[in-house]
Amino acid sequence: MVPTKHTLVALVEDKPGVLNRMVSLFRRRGFNIASIAVGSSELSGFSRVTFVVDGPLAMVEQVRKQLGKVVDVVKVSDITEENIVIRELALVKVKATSATRSEIIQIVDVFRSDIVDVAQDSLTIEVTGAEQKIESLLDLLRTFGIKEIVRTGCIAMTRGGAGTANGSTKGRDNEQTP
């Protein structure tokens, strides 16, 4: 099955307004962004952006090509079909009483996540992983009562030696396949 969620990674020049240029394009063309995460890259003056885009393949292709036209965008790749590592970080503040605290800690251990803050009536959990892992943890925690969730959005990288959306050429392949 063709996944409807696509992961796109872009290498962009770290210039004022570059994020605005990209996000404005999504808004204007009616593309739906599920998440976006931005940070500096290994190259000085360049940032790497991970987009998760929801929609049919033809739309995602348009997203990729339109992003490629943004002058400050050096390269865009759709890495959905590649062998990739995807990670997201979430902070979850969950209600906890003396009766439930230990049970929550057990769950947190199973998920190999961390308790980063403890208060009288709550625990704050830091969890890292692919989206499904975070969703599963959240499902379990919901029974205790979730007070707050903050998520970073996904970041992604291809496995192995090959780089993810780097190098000097833009994602402007010559449309060899329709």
Partner 1 sequence: MKLTGAQILCESLLKEGVDVIFGFPGGAVLPLYDTLPQYPALRHILVRHEQGAAHAADGYARVTGKVGVCLATSGPGASNLVTGIANAHLDSVPIVAITGQVARPFIGKDAFQEVDITGITLPITKHNYLVLEVESLPRVIKEAFYLARTGRPGPVLIDIPRDVFLEQTEFHYPQKVEIPGYKPTLQGHPAQIKKAADVINNARKPVIISGRGVLISGAFAELKQLAEMAQIPVITTLLGISSFPESHILSYGMMGMHGMAYANMAVDACDLLIAIGMRFDDRATSKVSGFAPNARIVHIDIDPAEIGKNVRVDVPIVGDVKRVLVALNKLIPPAEHIDWIHQVDEWRRQHPLVVPRTSKKVLPQYVVHKLYELTKGEAIIVTGVGQNQMWAAQHYWYDKPNSFISSGGLGTMGYGLPAAMGAKVGCPDRIVWCIDGDGSFQMTLHELATIHQDQIAVKIAVINNGFLGMVRQWQQLFYGKRYVATPLTCPDFVKLADAYCVPALRVEKKEEVAPAIQQAMKHDGPFLIDFVVEPEENVYPFVAPGTALSQIIEEPRKEVTAWSQQSTP
Give residues in contact with partner 1 (CB under 8 A): 12-13, 16-17, 20-21, 24-25, 28, 58, 61-62, 65-66, 68-75, 168-170, 172-176, 178
Tracing tokens 């970041």 back to the chain, one arrives at 155
Phi, psi of 13 (to 5 degrees): -70, 135
Q: How far is the CB of 65 from partner 1 (least distance, A)?
A: 4
CB nearer to partner 1: give 83 or 169: 169
Q: How far is the CB of 165 from partner 1 (least distance, A)?
A: 12
Q: How far is the CB of 81 from partner 1 (least distance, A)?
A: 18
Identify each DSSP E strand in the chain by its residue range: 5-13, 33-40, 46-54, 73-78, 84-95, 114-118, 122-129, 146-151, 155-158
CB nearer to partner 1: give 12 or 96: 12
- Closest Cα partner for 127 from 86, 84, 88, 85? 88
CB nearer to partner 1: give 28 or 161: 28
Q: Spell out the residues 6+ positions from residue 13 whose beta carbon is closer than 8 angstroms to its own.
A: 45, 46, 47, 72, 73, 74
117 in Cβ contact with 57 (< 8 Å): no
CB nearer to partner 1: give 29 or 159: 29
For residues 125 and 144, what is the distance between their CA atoms, to the nearest angstrom?
13
CB nearer to partner 1: give 112 or 172: 172
Q: How far is the CB of 39 from partner 1 (least distance, A)?
A: 18
Q: How far is the CB of 130 from partner 1 (least distance, A)?
A: 30
Assign 144 to helix, strand or coil.
coil
